[in-house]
Amino acid sequence: MDIKGKVFIVTGGASGLGEGTARMLADAGGQVVIADMQADKGEAVAREIGGAFVRCDVSSEADGQAVVAKAVSLGKFMGLVNCAGIAPAEKTVGKNGAHALATFTKTITVNLVGTFNMIRLAAEAMSRNEPEPTGERGVLISTASVAAYDGQIGQAAYSASKGGVVGMTLPIARDLARSGIRNMTIAPGIFGTPMLFGMPQEVQDALAAGVPFPSRLGTPQDYARLVRHIFENDMLNGEVIRLDGAIRLAPK
């Protein structure tokens, strides 16, 4: 798929991996709709890249519909990148007792239900596209995490939510194959994002040192480069790609 001239939605596009992706797509000639809860940041990024911003709770059907409607109004809507997510840390049984059920439920709702909500709404719109010369009508890319495989202490909710994203990657690709819509997932390792930068510096340094090669934090640009390759390589479908420098997370 040629990015130039196409319309893309990036959830979580106001910061981190989503912002890096939105900027890459705009630089490549795409029209970007940023969907995020952070209105000030989202509007600022949208202005800088010549895109549009829609305030969106990805787990809301009405919000998701509004974002897709905006994308369709701007041209040929061909791509969705799901980067919105939360990463709470809480043990199954901790000092204050059992894991809060509300925390677990919210994590699943945002990270898994929200991802599927945007996929289903975007795919419905894409299915009405005239196919490209390759036969495809759109590409969906979601964000899991290496925690889906190597969940650490305190990550039961987060790992479960990302494991769900991994688990639905292939069946969604199979569901949408007849419509010419591809579905892929990226599972990042230790990346320099606002969530990670909220940790103490010594923790950040230790995490970076634990990456076999390259021994550094991943960047939004690393993620965005893979997003671009997935869009442009039409044989990539129904798979999860670990983007992690060969790291395998220890229990803590």
| CB atoms near residue 164 (< 10 Å) | 18
The yes-or-no answer on residue 149 being catalytic is no
Contact 238, 184 (CB under 8 A): yes
Residues 52, 244: Cα–Cα separation, whole Å: 31
DSSP labels, 32-44: EEEEES-HHHHHH
pLDDT tens by residue, 67-76: 999 999 999 9
Alpha helices in the chain (DSSP H): 16-27, 39-49, 61-74, 101-108, 114-126, 147-150, 156-176, 194-197, 201-209, 220-232
DSSP labels, 153-212: TTBHHHHHHHHHHHHHHHHHHHHHGGGTEEEEEEEE-SB-SHHHHTS-HHHHHHHHHT-S
**Residues 8, 77, 158, 231: which is the catalytic one?**
158
- pLDDT at 203 exceeding the cut of 80: no
- pLDDT at 194 exceeding the cut of 80: no
What is the pLDDT at residue 233?
A: 98
Find the mean pLDDT for residues 219-237. Answer: 98
pTM: 0.96
- pLDDT at 195 exceeding the cut of 80: no
Query: What are the structural domains of the chain?
Result: 7-243 (3.40.50.720)
At 202, the pLDDT band (50, 70, 90 cuts) reads confident
- pLDDT at 115 exceeding the cut of 90: yes
